[in-house]
Structure 1
Amino acid sequence: MKVLHQFLSRFFLSGCSDYNSLEVRRACRSKKQARLAFEENALPYANGRTFINPYSAFQFYQQYGFPLVIKPNVGGFSRGAYFPIENKAQLAKASIGVKKWWTNSIIEEYLLGKNYRIVMTKFGVMSVLRRYPPFVIGDGLQTIDHLIDIENQLRKQKQLAPITRPIPKNNAIKKHLKQQKMHLSTVPKSNQKVYLHHKISLKLGSSVEVIDKSKLTDSNQQDLEKILHFFDANILGIDVICKQGIEVDFKAQACIFLELNSRPFLKMHDNPRYGEKPKDLVDFYHQLNQLEVLDNEKY
C-alpha cells in the first residue's frame, strides 16, 4: 500500500496536500460518493448517474437532453473529462473514450457558469479560487498568436511556473479556435475575450484568480462546513459552479457542487495569475502541519 501511494503521489497527485487520514480519503474518493454527500446535505448538484455500459449514457441523454458532461468516477485535473457534449456524435466518442481512465464513469447535466475551488479546513475557509480556461483579450491590433506570446511572457516575468503554465499553440487550441471560426492569425476586437479551450487544465495554460473569501455569504460558508463535518475531514477542496457567483447563496441561483478533493493541490493558491495571495495562508499551513494524520502513506 505504501508503494502504491508513492507511485500515485508521484505520477498523478504530485504536489497535492496530504492532511487527511486514509479513512477520510476513501470516504470521498469517487464522484459518486461526493454526489451522495451533496444529496444528504441538501446541496445542489447536477442530475447524473454512474455507468459502465456506454448505452446507459444514451439512455441518460434521452431523459435529460444536452448539454452533458462525461468524466471518470475517480480522478482529477479534468483528466478524461468531456464537456460540453452537445450532440450524439460527441456523446458516443465521450462514453467510449472515458473508459481509458476508469471503468466506472459519470454522466451528468452540464452548467456553464463561474468555476470555483474552495478550500475548506477545520480552521475555517483557507482560500477561494476562480478557475478559468485559457484565454486572451484582444486589443484590435494583434493576432491571437501574438497575444498568446504576450501572455506567456507576462507569466514568465511573474514567475508563475510550474503552476500556471504557458499557453500552448497545439492542435487542441487550434481546433477550439476553428470551432469558433477563428485561427491563430485572427485579430480579435478590442476587449474581446477569446477562450482558447473549454477545459480548465493546467497543461492547456488555464489560470486562477484568488477571490476575497469575505465575499462568501454566511449561508454558503455554513454549507461548506456541513460537507467538511460530514466526512470529519481536516481539509477538503470543494469544486462548485455558480451561475452568478459565491456572493449569492448557493440555493438562490443555478448552482452545482461538482466534486470533493481530499488532497487538494494547494500550490495553486500560493501564486495565482490574478488577485492577491491570501495573507493568512502561512497561518493555515502552520495549523495543518501540526495535525497528527494516521495512514497518510497508504492509498
Structure 2
Amino acid sequence: MPRGEVVRNAEDALRAAERIGYPVVVKPLDGNHGRGVSIDLTMAEEVARAFVEAREHSRRVIVENCFKGRDHRILVVNGEVVAVAERVPAHVIGDGQRSIAALVDEVNKDPRRGEGHENIMTRIRIDDHSLGVLAKAGLDVDTVPTRGQVVYLCDTANLSTGGTAVDRTDDIHPDNALIARRAARAIGLDVAGIDFIAPNIARSVHGTGGGIIEVNAAPSFRMHLQPSEGRPRNVARPVMEMLFPRGKPTRIPILAITGTNGKSTTSRMIGHILRAQGLNVGLTSTTGIYVNGDRIVEADASGPCSARVVLRDPSVDIAVLETARGGILREGLGFPECDVGLITNIQPDHLGLKGIDTIEDLAWVKSIVVEAVHRNGTSILNADDPVSVSVRRRAGGRLGYFSLRGGADMSDFLREHIEDGGFAVMREPGPSMAARS
C-alpha cells in the first residue's frame, strides 16, 4: 500500500506531500468513480489545486505516494481471484487531421458507449478535469495530435469516466493474486474489487514496485463481463456458487397452517416445539409476527406480507406461517412452495365474504396451502373432517392424517390409507390416550 496521510486543509496537504515525497496522489477520503482524484503531482502548486478539487467531494482528503504503472482491477470472490482487468484511462488516438474535441466526438459514436452505466462503456466528457489533464500535457481541445499519438483525458482509469477495460485474468502473477486475496480476507469481504497498480501485472510487484491503492466493497462487474478487449469472464457464477453452494440447503423450511378453527393455536404450539429443539422460529399468526419468541409486529399477521417479513429475516431457521383465506384471496401465499402444509378443519364459517359462498368454495381456497407442498414435503389433513379429506387429491408431497378416532373407532378410509403404507397420527381410546402412528 502507498504511504499516505489524511488532511483537512491545503496547508496540511502541502506539508504531507513534503513529508511523503513527490510525486504524490491527492484524492477524496470517501469519494467514488475516480471523482476528484489527481495523480503524479510533482509541485506544491499542483497539490494545492488538487486539494481544492478533492475537497469538493469529501470533507477529508488523502495525500499519498504515487505508484507508477498500469491500473488494474482484481476481482476476488470467496477468497479466490476470479477476474482481472487492466483499466485504460479515457483517451483518443490522433490521426494528424482532427482536433482532440473532434476525436472525442468520434469515439463517443461507438454504440457500446452510453451515459453512466447504461452500456458497457461510458461516453467521454470534456470537463474541467479533462481540460486540466490536457493543459498539464501542453494541449487543449483544439490541438490536432499527430497520427498515432495517444492523448489521455483523465488521470484515473474508471470506466465511469470513459475508460476502457482489457481482460488480464490469465496474465496475473501468483504473487499479485496472493496480495489481492489477502487484502480481501484482511478486510473481511466475500466480494472485493482490488485496485492494483503495477507496471506489468504478469510480474511480481515485489520486484517492479506498485501495490493496492483501493479496495471496493461493491465492485462493478461490467468490465469483466464485457471487457473492451479480451475474453469475457462470467463473474456472476462464482458469486452465486458462494451464496448457494451445490448440495447445501438454499431455503429455510416452511410450515404453513390453515383452517377455519384452531390454526392460531396450532401454529403457536408448533413454533414452541421447534424453539425447544434449538431452532430460531419465525412465526406469523393473527396476533402478530414473532422471531425467536419476540413479537416484532403486533397485528393480524396471517397474510402473505407477514410471511415475507419472516422469510426475509436472515436469523430465522424455520418458518411457521398461519395462513388465512383473506390473504390468499388478496394476493396468494407469499411463498412458492412449503415443506409442510396443514389443514386443521374446514367449517362453514364466514361464508358470503369475497365471493366465498359455499363450503366447497372455502375448501378450494384452503386447499391451496397443501397444493403448494413440494414433492418431497408433507401434506397433513384432518381425517375427522370430511371436507378436509375431500381436498386430498390436490395435496402435494406425502399425505398424512391426524384423527381423534383410533382403534375400533378408526374410519375405513383411514385404515386403508395406513395399510397402503400411508401414515397417520391418532388418539387411541383408553386411559393412556396415547398417540399411535
Tell me, yes or no, if the aligned pair for 1:155 and 1:166 is still in contact at 8 Å.
Answer: no
Pair 1:118 & 2:74 matched = yes
Tell me, yes or no, if the aligned pair for 1:123 and 1:284 is still in contact at 8 Å.
Answer: no
Matching of residues 125-164 of structure 1 within 5 Å: 125-156=81-112, 161-164=118-121
1:283 aligned residue (226, 233, 237): 237
Partner of 1:82: 38
Partner of 2:167: 210
Partner of 1:93: 49
Tell me, yes or no, if the aligned pair for 1:70 and 1:106 is still in contact at 8 Å.
Answer: yes
Tell me, yes or no, if the aligned pair for 2:87 and 2:157 is still in contact at 8 Å.
Answer: yes
- Structure 2 CA distance for partners of 1:144 and 1:283, relative to 1, 3 Å: same
Letter of the 2:221 counterpart: L
- Structure 2 CA distance for partners of 1:74 and 1:270, relative to 1, 3 Å: same
- Structure 2 CA distance for partners of 1:142 and 1:294, relative to 1, 3 Å: farther
User: Displacement of 1:148 after TM fit?
Assistant: 2.0
Separation (CA, whole Å) in 1 of partners of 2:93 and 2:231: 21
Separation (CA, whole Å) in 1 of partners of 2:59 and 2:114: 41
Q: CA RMSD in A?
A: 2.9
Q: Secondary structure at the match of 1:154?
A: coil
2:13 aligned residue (48, 51, 57): 57
Separation (CA, whole Å) in 2 of partners of 1:183 and 1:57: 28
User: Relative contact order (C-alpha < 8 Å, sep 6+): which is higher?
Assistant: 1
Q: Secondary structure at the match of 1:127?
A: strand
Separation (CA, whole Å) in 2 of partners of 1:187 and 1:95: 31
1:4-47 per-residue CA deviation (whole Å, 9 max, x = no partner) reads xxxxxxxxxxxxxxxxxxxxxxxxxxxxxxxxxxxxxxxxx212
Separation (CA, whole Å) in 1 of partners of 2:313 and 2:56: 32
- Structure 2 CA distance for partners of 1:106 and 1:145, relative to 1, 3 Å: closer
Partner of 1:195: 152
Tell me, yes or no, if the aligned pair for 1:134 and 1:167 is still in contact at 8 Å.
Answer: yes
TM-score, with length taken from structure 2: 0.51
Separation (CA, whole Å) in 1 of partners of 2:187 and 2:313: 15
- Structure 2 CA distance for partners of 1:62 and 1:120, relative to 1, 3 Å: same
Identity level (%): 23
Letter of the 1:287 counterpart: E
| Structure with larger Rg | 2
Separation (CA, whole Å) in 1 of partners of 2:57 and 2:220: 20
Tell me, yes or no, if the aligned pair for 1:215 and 1:246 is still in contact at 8 Å.
Answer: yes
TM-score, with length taken from structure 1: 0.72
| Number of residues of Structure 1 aligned to a counterpart in Structure 2 | 248
| Alignment gaps of 5+ in structure 2 | 251-311, 315-437
